[in-house]
Amino acid sequence: MRRLVVLTTVVVLVGAASAAAGVKSPCKLITAADATKALGVAAGAGKSETVGLYQACVYTAGTKSVIVLVRQMSRSTFDKSAKANPGPVVHLNGIGSDAYSVKGGSGLLVWKDGTEVTVDVSGLGKALKADETLGKAAAGRL
């Protein structure tokens, strides 16, 4: 079983390296200024990293955070992936070319021009408004 986990991790990381080549930086799609406005407190510089198939940017301010995940994918794959998230999954208009609120409003998925952006704001209670604001900022920069 351990060999399977290691092999899976290696395959995921190799796939991430090739997929990451054309992905826009999540720290440029949602800036520190955007995160600060959404959280209501100074978020500081974002921390860039690779998380599985995603390029990620994490902004933190105490117990509050904004996590931005970016990867390339087709629109049909995006729709299938979005609908497979924990519900309720709600289609949203006016954000990117396609967008969904997931996990009861605690996450936002945006697709535009072959790129998926996932935004997760935590520490604010109901964060859907902040997610939507950040999603619009990211979609505008794609």
Q: Please state, in angstroms and rounded to a whole number, the distance separating the CA atoms of residues 46 and 4.
A: 33
Give the pLDDT band of residue 82 (cuts 50, 70, 90): very high
Does residue 5 carry a pLDDT above 60? no
Total-model pTM: 0.77
**Mean pLDDT, range 134-138, rounded to an integer:** 82
Would you state the pLDDT for residue 4?
A: 30
Q: For the chain, which residues make up each domain, given as ranges? A: 2-141
Q: What is the three-class DSSP state of 33?
A: helix
Q: Is the domain 2-141 a CATH 3.40.1000 member?
A: yes
Integer Cα distance of 55 and 24 in angstroms = 8
pLDDT for 125: 65
Query: How far is Cα 6 from Cα 124, in angstroms, rounded to an integer?
Result: 36
Helix axes 128-141, 32-39, angle to 10 degrees: 160
Tell me: the pLDDT tens digits for 86-104? 888 999 888 888 999 888 7
In eight-state DSSP terms, residue 31 is: -
User: Residue range 130-142: average pLDDT?
Assistant: 82
CB of 119 closer than 8 Å to CB of 68: yes
Q: Hey, is 19 helix, strand or coil?
A: helix
Q: What average pLDDT does the structure give for the chain?
A: 81
Tokens 């979005």: give the residue: 82
